[in-house]
Amino acid sequence: MPLMRRAVDLLWPLLVAVSVIVLVVAVGTARADVMTDTMRQDHDAYRVVVAEETAQARAEWVLELIAWNGPYVDPPVARVRQTYGEGVEQWRGLVTIYFPAEWVEWALTIMHCESRGNPNAKSPISTASGLFQHLASYWQDRSGRAGWAGADIFNPEANIAVAAWLLDIGGPSHWECKAPLP
């Protein structure tokens, strides 16, 4: 029995040390979890404050911008209006009437390429004539089907209207000139 007592006496400090280490680790881990939750709550509260301050700063900036420049309006989705020169620009109103809004810039680009806005333009190598350079051999049929029967190929409004009709029924591939599609 004295041997057993001696073993317990020797192992007891080791057992106490291990127990203390286990206890310290357990308490430390529990404390770390508590601190983590507290820190997380503080962080979430901080994020809310920052978000509110950012939103307030943005609102103040927008109000300042409006005070200086007037209300902000989102730019339209349609392509930016280009200027083609007086020859083409004089027909913008008619093109706007006959072509869908999203195709107006495309149509003016094609007109600029085909005739530079000259309603009396005539190709030196074919029968293409007018603002959109319609081929004379197709003009009578196409103008009639577009509701412009008997109209002269050099009539600017008829030429534009038939071009819009042709785009509607057959797409943009009828013209030699190409432009970015809307």
Q: What would the DSSP string read from start to end of 35-78?
A: HHHHHHHHHHHHHHHHHHHHHHHHHHHHHHHHHHH----PPPSS
Question: What SS3 class is residue 135?
Answer: strand
**Pick from 182, 152, 156: nearest CA to 167:** 182
pLDDT in tens, 76-117: 444 456 777 889 999 999 999 999 999 999 999 999 999 999
Question: Between the CA atoms of 168, 171, 173 and 179, what dihedral angle is there, to the nearest 10 degrees?
Answer: 90
Model pTM greater than 0.85? Answer: no
What pLDDT was estimated at residue 24?
56
Structure tokens given for 73: 């309006």
Q: How far apart are CA 115 and CA 98, in angstroms?
A: 18
Q: Which of 4-13, 40-49, 84-93, 145-154 tops mean pLDDT?
A: 145-154
The amino acid that residue 125 corresponds to is: I
Q: Among the listed ranges 3-17, 117-131, 164-178, which one has the minimum average pLDDT value?
A: 3-17
Percent of the chain topping pLDDT 90:
47
